[in-house]
């Protein structure tokens, strides 16, 4: 998995490519922790090039949500493939994240 992370003011953006497996989820967590979380109000994840997300990756997204929600922040997951979108919908993650398909 590869990713590019940018933070501008109260927004951060993750552009991810590849599978978000267990090592990828740990890398995602490390990169998230490098951000100034207290300043963040919105974090977006571009999933255009994500082919699969495992339970570890979903767990990290929920952890990020918990951290951001304390300060009124939100998570957006954009450009999600149909299969990943279906997984998020079945898990009811569309009720806590703003999710948009490709």
The Cα–Cα gap between 58 and 6 comes to 21
All structural domains of the chain with their residue ranges: 2-101
**pLDDT tens for residues 24-62?**
999 999 999 999 888 899 999 999 999 899 999 999 999
Q: Strand 74-80 vs strand 98-101: parallel, antiparallel, or unpaired? A: parallel
- Residue 65 is classified by DSSP as H
Helix then strand count (H, E) for the chain reads 3, 5
Give start and end residues of each alpha helix (H) in the chain. 22-33, 55-69, 82-90
Question: Is-contact 51 18, C-beta < 8 A?
Answer: yes
- pLDDT number for residue 71: 84
Question: Is-contact 45 78, C-beta < 8 A?
Answer: yes
Q: What is the pTM of this model?
A: 0.94
Q: Which two tokens stand for residue 77?
A: 């997951």
Q: At what angle do helices 22-33 and 55-69 cross, to 10 degrees?
A: 20
Q: Which residue do the tokens 């267990």 mark?
A: 22
**pLDDT tens for residues 51-98?**
899 999 999 999 999 999 988 999 999 999 999 999 999 999 999 999
Q: Does domain 2-101 have CATH number 3.30.750.24?
A: yes
């Amino acid at each position: 998995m590869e990713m590019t992370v940018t933070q501008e003011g109260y927004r951060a953006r993750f552009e991810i490519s590849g599978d978000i497996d267990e090592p990828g989820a740990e890398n995602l967590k490390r990169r998230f922790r490098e951000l100034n979380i207290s300043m963040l109000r919105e974090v977006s994840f571009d999933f255009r090039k994500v082919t699969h997300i495992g339970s570890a990756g979903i767990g990290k997204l929920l952890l990020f949500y918990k951290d951001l929600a304390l300060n009124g922040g939100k998570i957006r997951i954009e450009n999600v493939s149909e299969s990943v979108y279906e997984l998020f919908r079945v898990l009811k993650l569309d009720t806590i994240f703003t999710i948009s398909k490709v």
